[in-house]
Amino acid sequence: MTAAVRIHAIVPPYVLDRLAEAGHEPAVRSLALDAAHRAARLTAPPPAAADPGLSRLIADSGHAQRLPGHTVRTEGQTPVADASVNHAYDGLGATFALYSEVFGRDSIDGHGLRLDASVHYGQNYDNAFWNGRQMVFGDGDGEIFGDFTACIDVIGHELTHGVTQFTAGLQYQDQPGALNESISDVFGSLVKQYALHQDAASADWLIGAGLLAPGVQGVALRSMKAPGTAYDDPQLGKDPQPAHMRDYVDTGEDNGGVHINSGIPNHAFYLLATALGGHSWELAGRIWYDTLTGGGLPATADFTDFARATVAAARARHPDRPSVADTVTASWAQVGVSPG
Ligand SMILES: [Zn+2]
């Protein structure tokens, strides 16, 4: 089976638009590349007859717009001199580890799909993306963004678009699209928390911490703990994410604000994980994973549908602990979503 898939890039179009309008040349070229990728209309590969378990392949695009480029490190090979290659290799491994060890999922398709990535894509390319087949990393321009392989939560975010593609298939528009984005942020953050053995209270709940170049006024691309506070910079603008339905942004940009309104379900997950305490992947993460992969979530789910499904998943997973489902309901209520 092949299905049309989307390009999922980590830096939202409105961020690069603003930089481009101010004459920032790498952003102009990055936007042109992103538009070309979207126009390419790739299709997902049929599930490969892969061996079970972790298998990675890292290629080097050599600063050209070439995919995949030449292979530089495959599964089991020792680190190479190029740090971007090793960061990509490790980030793919950390993502595989969360899905495999915590949720019992064999790679992003559930059938041992080899995880492929290309590094050094394009010249000063200000983005990273999942194209339905592989991950692609730019080096950043060094002025606004650094090397996109540096953040394992960004890698976890992008590969989770693959998991969503192979499971619930949430439409990439309006509320289902914002849920698609939010699910990638949730599991991206969990990849980082799991790798660092952090509990909910000590996690930073940021997406892309360390990605912004020195001098940029901001800490990350998004904050699940405090949506709307990740950056406020003369060049980047201000983080536009709401944390509550009363501030929901109605817009035609960004596929109906998929990177903007994702702040609302992001914050609901943060509230749940911190209220439950301990390791976020054990209770809250499992409820989100069950919801995403359980087969009952329609591709057109809105926030209320998703919230209702998470409450049902909590009840199903914890029949003897109704307090868990009650905490899920309360977390959604705090962001203005009523599961009913
Ligand atoms: Zn995304």
The pair phi, psi for residue 4, each rounded to 5°, is -65, 135
Distance 30 CA to ligand 1 centre (A): 16
The residue length of the chain stands at: 340
Contact 220, 211 (CB under 8 A): yes
Helices and strands, counts by H and E, the chain:
10, 10
Q: Which residue has the tokens 């953050």?
A: 189
How is residue 150 annotated by DSSP? Answer: G
Per residue of the chain (340 residues), give pLDDT as tens: 344 567 888 999 899 999 999 999 999 999 988 888 877 755 555 455 568 899 999 999 999 999 999 999 999 999 999 999 999 999 999 999 999 999 999 999 999 999 999 999 999 999 999 988 899 999 999 999 999 999 999 999 999 999 999 999 999 999 999 999 999 999 999 999 999 999 999 999 999 999 999 999 999 999 999 999 999 999 999 999 999 999 999 999 999 999 999 999 999 999 999 999 999 999 999 999 999 999 999 999 999 999 999 999 999 999 999 999 999 999 999 999 998 7
Q: How far apart are the first and last CA of the chain?
A: 36
CB of 234 closer than 8 Å to CB of 223: no
Mark whether 25 is an active-site residue: no
Catalytic hit among 158, 181, 267, 279: 158
Q: Which of 87, 259, 267, 279 is catalytic?
A: 259
- Distance between CA 11 and CA 23 in Å, rounded? 18
Ligand 1 centroid, distance to 264 Cα (angstroms):
15
Residue 158 bears catalytic tag: yes
